[in-house]
Amino acid sequence: MRHSLTSLFSRFFATLILSALLFACNNSGSSNQSSGEKDLAGTSEIYDDTASVSFKEALEYREKIQAALTAPVPILKLTDSCTADQILAQELCLADNNFLKYTRDSVSKSAYRNEVFNVYKARESDLSKQTNSACADGGCYKVELYNFALNITTIGLVNIKSKQVIQVLHLPQTQPEIPSHLKQLAITIAAENEHVQKALGFKPGEKDAVMSATKTALNKSRCERSMHLCVAPTFVKNNKALWTIVDLTDLRVAGIRWTNVGVGGPSVTERKLQNEKITECFCKTETVLKRNGWKLGYMLTSSDGMRVSDVSYNGVPVLSSAKLVDWHVSYSNSDGFGYSDAIGCPYFSTAAVVAIESPRISDLIEDGKKAGFVIEQNFYSEGWPNACNYNYQQRFEFYNDGSFRIACASIGRGCGNDGTYRPVLRIAFAGQSNSFSQWDGTNWKPWNQEQWHLQQANTAYTKEGYLFKIDQAGGQSWFVEPARGQFKDGGRGDHAFSFVTINKPGRDEGESDLVTIGPCCNTDYKQGPEKFIEPNPEPLANEALVLWYVPQMKNDDTKGYEYCWAESYVKDGIISTRKFPCFAGPMFIPAKK
Amino acid sequence: MKRIHFFFAASLMSLLSCNEPTEESGTGVQIIPDCRRLSPFVTSVGFNAQRSAFSTSDRKIKGLTLVELSATAGVENRVYQHPSWKQAGSMGPIVITEDGSVYAAPIPVVNVLENDPLKQNIIYKVDPTSGEMKPFIELPSAEKPTAENPFGILGLAYDCESGILYATSVSGSTRNKEAGRIFSIQTKNEPKVIDIIEHTDAMGVDICYFNEQKTLFFGKTRTSDIFSIAVKDDGSFKGKPVSRFSLEGVGPRGDDKARKIRFDKTGSMIVHGVEFYYNLIAPTEKQETLYQFIYNLTEDKWENKNKGPLLQN
C-alpha cells in the first residue's frame, strides 16, 4: 500500500523537501523596457523563501539583538553619535515602567525585540497643553522605541533637567523614522541580494541607491500583511527604478518590482507586490507542468482555490479538473455560527481567504528517494494566526507510479476550539463514459444513480483500504482510498461525505468558478453538492462523472493534541507560529490491468 | 473574538437630524442641511426614536435592522427586523430622507450565499409608514457581472435640497476593465436615473457646495484617490471628475480606499478608510480608519488635519 511505504509526516515538517517557488511569469524586468506602469506589474517578484542575510554587518547587528534580548531591560539602545543629553534621556526612559510596558510578552515574559530608533530634543510641535509647562525649561527630549514583534512605537517625553518622564505614548501599528544604521543595513541587504543583482545586471553599490530622480535612496514601503518593518531601497537603471522591499524584521529581501522613474504613483508595498504577482502570474493564466510522466495545468481561481486541469499520466487522461469549492466552518457551541469561506485570488475575487504566496512545487520523498512531486498552495487571512483568522492549504500529490492524492488542510485558528471544517473538493474525471462503484464488504457494487455516502465506523473497505472504484472507458480503473489516519501526515481520518454527479456538457454544475455552494453550518450531507442530485437523481451509467468529496475535521486545542490549530509564540524576540494542520483527502491508486 | 462583518456595514444611521449649520464662511465648503426625519413606523413598533438607528452591521442578523440603544447599562439593545428587510442578503450603505424613507443597498459579506451576484445593483426603499422594504430601482450595469467581482452598489448619498440620490457601483468591473458607474437618481415621482458617470469605480460618496458650486465627492476603489465633479441643479453632472487628494501612504495601512465620505458641521471632510481589493476578506479587527481633511481655500488644496488618522477621544 502507498502509505506503508511513505513517511509523509516527515515530508511536511522536515527539511527533506527541496522547495522551489514556481514563477509562471518569471520576468524580473528589464531596465530597457519602455512599458507603461501597468505593464510593469508583471515584473513583481515575491520571495517567501529567502533566508536572512549573513554578511558581516548583518551578523554584527544580530549579535547586538541577541545581547539585548538577554539583558534585564531587553532594549537595543541607540548609540549612533549620541550626545550625553541624548544618552541621559534614553536612560531615564529605560528606567520607566510605563515606557517598558510592551517590551516583554505579558504571559510568558519572553523578551520582545525592541530598539530605540531616535532620541531628539523636543520641538514645540511635539508638546501639548498637558506637557508644555513640564518642558518650559527646554530640557525635554523625545525617545522613540520600536517593538519589532508587536509593531508598536512607544514615545517617551522626558525632561533631562528635572529627570522626569513626562509622558509615554504607545502607538500600535506605527513605525518611527528608522535610524541611519538601519538605513545603511537595508541598502546593503538589497545590494547583496542575488535577485536584485540579477534584475539590475550588476551588483549595485551604496551610491547606486542614491539618485536624484527619486530624491532619496530609501523609499517608504510597508509590509502590511506581515506587519514587519520594511523599507525600499531603489536602484535606477536607464529609465526604470527597481524597488527592493527589505524586511528589517527578518533581515531579508521580501520582493522587487520595476517602476518608471519620474512617474508619480503609489509606492511599492508588500501587499501590492503580492497581489500583483499572484494575479499576473497565477490568476490570469494557467501554467502547464510536465513532470515524472504527469502533465497538467494549474492556476488560481476566483473562488475555488487552486485548480488543476487536464491531468494525464503517461499520455492517458486522468482528471478533467480538481479544485476546492468552499470551506464550511461551523462552531458547535453557537448554533448556526460559522462561515462559508471561498479561497482564491487576492484581487477581484469572491474569496474570503486569499493567496498571498506563489504556488510551491517540490519533490515527494519516500524513504529518502524521490517518489513524485507535490504542488501546494496556501490561503491566508491577514491576521492569522489570531483568533477568527484562517489559513487553508491545498496539496496535490502526484506519484511516479501513477497514484495521486488530492488533499487539503486547515491550519487554524478559527473562532474557537469547537470548530468543524468541511472543505468541499470537486474532482472531475476525464472521459465521457465512466462508472462508479463501492466496496460492500464482498464485491464492488455499482452506483446506478447520482447519490451520496458518509464514511463511518462501519464502512466496509477492501483489505488495501479502498472504498470506491472508478472505471474509465479506456479500461483504466482507479481505487479511492479515503484517509483514516494512515497517511502519516497527522490526519485523523476524513469522515467524508462523497457525492457522485454527472458532468453533463452544456450544464455547468461547477465546471466553471462556483460561487458559494453551501452554508457554513449544516452537519448533515447538505454541504452543497446535493443540489446537483436532488430531487431527481440521474442514472450514472456511461457518463462523465464528478466526485464531490467533503471531509470533516474537528479542531482541537488540547496541549500536545492540537489539530486544525495554530498558536503564536515568541522566538528571538519576534512572533512566530506553531502550526498543527489537519490534512484530509483521498488517495487514487491505479488498478493494475 | 468574533470575525466582524464590518466592511461595508454602514454603522448606525441615526434617525434624527442634528440640525447642523449650513454654511461655514471662509472654508470654501458649504454643507447641505441634514434633513433626516423619523420614520413613523419606528414608533409604531414601540422603539424610542431618540435612541434608535438603522444598521446593516449586525453580525448575526443579515440585512437591515432597527436598533434601539439601551438606556440602561448592562441591558442589551433591542433589535427589530421587518420580515422584508432580509430579502437582499447582507446590506451596506443606508441613507434616510426628509419623509423618513430609508434607501439601502446590498453588499456581500464573507460570501455570496445570500447575495445573488446578479442582484447587487438594486437600491431598496423602506416605506416610512409600513416599514416594508421593496426594490426601488435596479441600476443598469455597463457590463454583465462576472465571478471575478461580487460587488455592485458600494455607496449612497442623498441631496436633501433636491431629493436626488447618488449611488456608486462597481458592477461589471473586472481586473482589466473599469466598468463602474456613478448615478444620480430621481426619488420624487417615479424612480429614474438622471445621469451617469461612466468607467468609474468608486465607493464612498457625498455632496456639498464647494466654492459655491454643488459638488459630488467620491472615493475611487482602484486607487486611494478622492475625486469631485460639479453637479447641476437637475442632478446631471457637469464637466469631468477632478482629482482632489489621495489616501495613499496615509494611516496604518497606507492603501485605504474611502468607504464613506461625510462633511461635518465645520466643513471638514470625514473619510472612512478601509482596505479594498474587490474580494470578500473579513478581518477580525475592524480595519477602518477615520481621516479628517480640511480645504485650504488660499492654496486650493485639501489638507489632512492630523497628518494621519483622525484621533478620537
Candidates B148, B250, B256, B313: best to mutate against A (most CBs of A within 10 A) is B148
B300 within domain boundaries: yes
Among A112, A137, A172, where does a domain finish? A172
Instruction: Indicate whether A233 and A312 sit together in one domain.
Output: no
The distance of Cα B137 from the centroid of its chain, to the nearest Å, equals 17
Count: domains in chain A: 3
Candidates B5, B113, B177, B223: best to mutate against A (most CBs of A within 10 A) is B113
Among A232, A247, A279, where does a domain finish? A279
CB neighbourhood size of A31 (10 A)? 17
Cα–Cα distance measured from residue B281 to residue A343, given in angstroms and rounded to the nearest whole number:
10
State whether B148 and A349 contact (CB < 8 Å): yes
State whether B149 and A348 contact (CB < 8 Å): yes
Instruction: Indicate whether A456 and A566 sit together in one domain.
Output: yes
Q: Give, for A189, the enclosing helix (H) or strand (E).
A: helix A180-192
Task: Count A/B contacts: CB-CB distance under 8 Å.
Answer: 112
A27 within domain boundaries: no
Chain A residues whose beta carbon lies within 8 Å of the beta carbon of residue B110 = 339-341, 352
Chain A residues whose beta carbon lies within 8 Å of the beta carbon of residue B117 = 350, 515
CB neighbourhood size of B239 (10 A)? 10
Chain A residues whose beta carbon lies within 8 Å of the beta carbon of residue B223 = 266
The three-class DSSP label of residue A39 is: helix
Instruction: Indicate whether A253 and A315 sit together in one domain.
Output: no
Instruction: Indicate whether A375 and A518 sit together in one domain.
Output: yes
Task: Pick the residue from chain B with its C-alpha nearest to A272.
Answer: B255
Instruction: Indicate whether A381 and A490 sit together in one domain.
Output: yes
Chain A residues whose beta carbon lies within 8 Å of the beta carbon of residue B252 = 173-174
Count: domains in chain B: 1
A251 within domain boundaries: yes
Cα–Cα distance measured from residue B97 to residue B187, given in angstroms and rounded to the nearest whole number:
10
Chain A residues whose beta carbon lies within 8 Å of the beta carbon of residue B277 = 275, 346-348
Instruction: Indicate whether A99 and A240 sit together in one domain.
Output: no
CB contact set of A40 (below 8 Å; sequence gap of 6+) = A29, A33, A240, A257, A258, A259, A260
The closest alpha carbon to A493, from A539, A455, A532, A441, belongs to: A455
**Smallest Cβ distance to A266: which of B111, B248, B285?**
B248
- Alpha-carbon distances of A244 from A21, A79, A202, A272, B2, rounded to whole Å: 19, 27, 15, 13, 36
Domain of residue A112 covers 81-172
Does B119 reach chain A within 8 Å, measured CB to CB?
no
B74 in the Ramachandran plot: left (φ > 0), alpha (ψ -120 to 50) or beta?
A: left
A23 within domain boundaries: no
CATH code at position B59: 2.120.10
State whether B255 and A266 contact (CB < 8 Å): yes
Instruction: Indicate whether A209 and A306 sit together in one domain.
Output: no
Chain A residues whose beta carbon lies within 8 Å of the beta carbon of residue B175 = 279, 283-284, 347-348
Candidates B115, B277, B285, B306: best to mutate against A (most CBs of A within 10 A) is B277
Residue B186 burial by Cβ neighbours in a 10 Å radius (0-12, 13-18, 19+): middle
Chain A closest CA to B33's CA: distance in Å?
34
Among A221, A245, A279, where does a domain finish? A279
State whether A348 and B148 contact (CB < 8 Å): yes
Domain of residue B297 covers 13-304
Instruction: Indicate whether A266 and A343 sit together in one domain.
Output: no
pLDDT tens, chain A, 593 aa long: 444 433 433 333 332 222 333 333 654 433 333 455 556 666 777 776 566 677 888 899 999 999 999 999 999 999 878 899 999 999 999 999 999 999 999 999 999 999 999 999 999 888 888 888 999 999 999 999 999 999 999 999 999 999 999 999 999 888 898 898 998 899 999 999 999 999 999 998 877 775 433 444 566 677 888 889 998 888 888 888 888 999 999 999 999 888 876 555 667 888 888 999 999 999 999 999 999 999 999 999 999 999 999 999 999 999 999 999 999 999 987 777 888 999 999 999 999 999 999 999 999 998 889 999 999 999 999 889 988 899 999 999 999 999 999 999 999 999 999 999 999 999 999 999 999 999 999 999 999 999 999 999 999 999 999 999 999 988 899 999 999 999 989 999 999 999 999 998 888 888 889 888 999 999 999 999 999 999 999 999 889 999 999 999 999 999 999 999 999 999 999 999 999 999 999 999 999 75
The closest alpha carbon to A157, from A102, A101, A89, belongs to: A89
The three-class DSSP label of residue B207 is: strand
CATH code at position A396: 2.70.98.20
Task: Pick the residue from chain A with its C-alpha nearest to B59.
Answer: A337
A526 within domain boundaries: yes
Instruction: Indicate whether A310 and A254 sit together in one domain.
Output: no
Chain A closest CA to B313's CA: distance in Å?
14
Q: How many CA atoms lie within 13 A of A446 on its CB side?
A: 9
